[in-house]
Amino acid sequence: MRINTKKYIEEAHKRGISPVRFACSLSKSYSVSVFNGEVEEQHIGEVGSVGGKGLVDGKYGSFSADGIREDSPSLLADKILENAKYGKEGKTSDFYTGGKRYRKVAIDEKAFVPSTLQELREAALALEKEVHAKDSRIKKCSVDLAFTKGESMRFNDVGLKCSKKTFYYLCNISLVCEDEKGEPRTAGNSVYSFTTLADVLA
């Protein structure tokens, strides 16, 4: 995620906001829902958000918005300044000022293999069919399959700048079965994978 952190901080300082901190996130996901052999829903979605909080004359101002736009730095700064008029008293010590090292989490992003919407759809339909074949008492089955890949960032003007990446598959299976007396029974399970679609289906 490419975020011009310098621009956010500059716009805040122009308005007398300091210290100030920001948080941004952006994620993209593909999802498919299958019920009794048919695709009910499928989505390709991109979600972004940005928020900020700072001190103006000793009072807190904050604002957050969905989506990240070219004018987000100035928009956030204006709203933080405006909201600080009604904010609570704050202090500089509430903001991270550096001096500590963040431990870097070992992740293997190269091992993650994204899938297309068509691959998710085919996998969900095949899985739903496989589940039904397990037992004749299974009367209804729904499969929700998705993968998400995203990144988030936090930074301020007094020493903080860190980011985090996320990528995973999620599969939810829900069943309606009948017992020996014909009474309905429900069950479900969820599985995560941080590598491949095949792994979450295994």
Tokens 């069919």: give the residue. 129
Which of 154, 45, 165 minimizes the C-alpha distance to 108? 165
- Answer whether residue 38 shows pLDDT above 80: yes
Reported as a single tens digit per residue, the pLDDT across 108-131 is: 677 888 899 999 999 999 999 999
- Contact present, 128 and 38 (Cβ < 8 Å): no
Start-end of H helices in the chain: 5-14, 72-83, 117-134, 197-201
What global pTM score does this model have?
Answer: 0.77
pLDDT at 11: 96
Reported as a single tens digit per residue, the pLDDT across 66-86 is: 989 899 999 999 999 999 999
